Each structure stands twice: as structure tokens, then as C-alpha cells.
Amino acid sequence: MWYPVIRRALFALDSERAHRLALEALRVTGRRGTSIRSTAPTDLMGLRFSNRVGLAAGFDKSAVAVDGLGALGFGFIEVGTVTPRPQSGQPRPRLFRLPTSGALLNRLGFPNDGAEVVAARLRRRKFRGILGINIGKNADTSISRAVDDYVNCLRLVRGVADYVVVNVSSPNTSALRELQARERLEPLLSALLDERTQGGTKIGRRLPLLVKIAPDLTSGEIGELATLIKAMPLDGVVATNTTVSRADIPDADTLQSGGVSGTPLRAAAMRTVKALRACLGNAFPIIGVGGIDSPESAMAMRIAGADLVQLYTGLIYCGPSLIARCVRALEDVKGSRELNTGTCARIRLRRRIGCFP
């Protein structure tokens, strides 16, 4: 019940400054916490997740607070997006709260300390949960040379990652979403898969490789992507990134450029997950992210077809208690994929704590 007080204080500050303060607090004090222990661990992609609830990429871009975040009870943490070279990102202001909509708007543009620094930092981590690293290209690298950036980034982080996500779907790096087109994505993924094979002997294991896609794709585009994903030895897909749509947002015409996360993203994210599950079949791993702000929405994402879920904006609005509540709700189904709305209605969820003012 203490988080609403902290949230009021943080929301009185500029969004990015508040986020930096929260990360610093987690870095300094978070290691004293205890993790939630799941009674229903999940095996996926050759990895064992202590629970199905993770932190989405974007929250801790440079992996400065992984130990503190892990102490909050996440089953897995995804850091990044990390680029080969450090970069400062877009000019400020570039992160905005939309409290009426339960949303955030960002045009950060991958600010991070660079893959080499992030990898060195992660070698010192105490967090023993599953650690994913989300990789991208530098803003000043042309699309024609993007493959080089992704491959270099993979080389730098593969020794400290449990899995790696290829981010080709952020709306905040110029032309990046063009990489989702088959003619660009296929050679990119082929190069990364070749690099994974060559690097496997160095790290002594097979590194799971996933791709993160946008929520703004048509059903035809999703189907084409799914066909490509099935044809390649990828290990999973993350759905979805932020949306450029302004649907269901009051005064949308006043918003600045950038990607929207949170409640307005939920329907598109779940639609994308459902379409992917239909195309990819029951066995292919899907991580669902977008608009999860309650146990009910976490369950809905599972029903749509996600094996694991990730939080970001919901965590900012609802606080750390959201993690435990989602973990317990997802444990109630004992890992079964045979979910439907009737099953969801019969599951006894813990009383939801209100998130929004």
C-alpha cells in the first residue's frame, strides 16, 4: 500500500528524472530484497524460468539495476536495447506520462552505455534468474549496414546472456522497422544464426535467439513474418514493441512523436500474440508484452497464446506488488496452454489493488 505515496512523489518529477531515481534506488538498496519463489517453474527454450513474469526491455537499458530488479520477484529480466557503441539517444524531453490512459509515450532512441560496458557490468551481477539482452543498431548506422551492428552486438553480449532478442521494431530509430520486411529480416537473422553457431563453442552452450516485432503489423504481415520465423532455427518471438497508433488516447492529436506503451497497447499486443500462436502452432515460444497492468490482463495474455509475459508501464503505474499478483495468477493454471475465457473465469484471482488514480 506504500507505492501510491512513492508514485505521487515520482510523478511530481520529470518522467526521465523519476525513472533514473528509481533505478538508482534499486541499484543501491534492491539487493536486500527477497525474490518470489514460484511453485510452478516453466521450462522454455532450454531454460528454466522460476515464474512466467518478466521485466520488458527498455526499463533498464544499460543493466545498472539488475540485482535490485531481480529482488522484486521477476522470473526473468530483459535489459537493453543495447547497441554496439554507446549512444545518448534522442534529444530531451523524450519520455512522457499519459496518466488518464495508463500509458507512456517515449522517443528515447536506444540511449545506453554500449554492449561492451553492459556486458562487463552483467558479469558482476548476483541475480541468478534468467537474463535476456535486447540488441539493436546504432542510430548513425545505415539500414544497409545494420547486419554488422547486430552481429557485433551479439558477439559482445553472448557470454553474459541467457537469451538474446533482436529488436527490429522500435519506432524511435529511423527506418529500423524496415528490418521487419522479409527481404531485410531474412539476411539479418541468417547472419545472427551463423554467428550463434560459430560462437557456441566459445560459450559452451546454445544461445536462444528471439525476434521482437511491432504491434502495428497487418494480419498479412504477421503471417509473412511467422512463415519466415518457422523456416529459421529461431527460439522464440517477443510480441510486442510500442505502438505508433493513437487510438483510444484522449487528445491524441496533441501528442508528440514516439511509441506508446501501456493500456492503449493491450488490444493490439494481444491480437498480435493470438495471430502468431495461430500461425506458429502450440510449441513455439512466445513472450507477450503490452498493457499488462493486472492479474486479469496477464491471464488474458496467456489466453491469447503467450508462454511468458513481461511488464513495464504497468509496473510504473501499479508498483512492484503487480509482479507477485501476476505470478500467483499465472501459477494457478499450472502451465497449461489449454486456456479459454471460461477457464479464466473459474480461476480465483487475488483481489486486485487499484492502479490508477
What pLDDT was estimated at residue 357?
Answer: 41
Q: What is the pLDDT of residues 290-319, one digit of tens each?
A: 999 999 999 999 999 999 999 999 999 999
pTM beyond 0.85: yes
Residues 6+ apart with CB under 8 A from 176: 136, 137, 143, 167, 168, 169, 170
Question: What is the phi/psi pair of residue 138, to 5°?
Answer: -70, 150
Q: Which three cell numbers stand for residue 136?
A: 539493436
Buried-state track 39-62, b at ≥16 Cβ within 10 A, e below 16: ebebebbebebbbbbbbbbbbbbb
Residue 209's SS3 state is: strand
What pLDDT was estimated at residue 342?
Answer: 47
Domains and CATH numbers, the chain: 3-346 (3.20.20.70)
Tell me the CA end-to-end span of the chain in Å, nearest whole number: 14
Radius of gyration of the chain (CA): 19
Annotation marks residue 101 as catalytic: no
249/259 Cα distance (integer angstroms): 13
What pLDDT was estimated at residue 105?
Answer: 95
Angle between helix 3-11 and 15-29 (nearest 10): 140
Please spell the DSSP secondary structure of 247-263, one letter per residue. Answer: TT-TTGGG--SSEEEEG
Beta-strand ranges (E) seen in the chain are 42-44, 47-49, 53-55, 76-82, 95-98, 103-106, 130-135, 163-167, 209-213, 236-239, 259-262, 286-289, 308-311
59/19 Cα distance (integer angstroms): 8
Q: Are strands 103-106 and 42-44 parallel, antiparallel or unpaired?
A: unpaired
**Cα 323–chain centre separation:** 14
170, 261, 294, 297: the active-site residue? 170
Q: What is the pLDDT of residues 197-209, one digit of tens each?
A: 999 888 889 999 9
Is residue 35 exposed (0-12), middle (13-18) or buried (19+ Cβ within 10 Å)?
Answer: middle
326/305 Cα distance (integer angstroms): 16
- Cβ proximity of 75 and 140 under 8 Å: no
Q: Which residues of the chain are modeled with pLDDT < 70?
A: 1, 30-39, 251-254, 333-357
205/162 Cα distance (integer angstroms): 10
313/264 Cα distance (integer angstroms): 11
Would you tell me how many other CB atoms lie within 10 Å of the CB of residue 22? Answer: 17
Please spell the DSSP secondary structure of 325-352, one letter per residue. Answer: HHHHHHHTTTT-S---HHHHHHS-PPPP
The H or E element containing residue 285 is none
Q: Omega of the bond prior to 264 within 30 degrees of 0, cis?
A: no
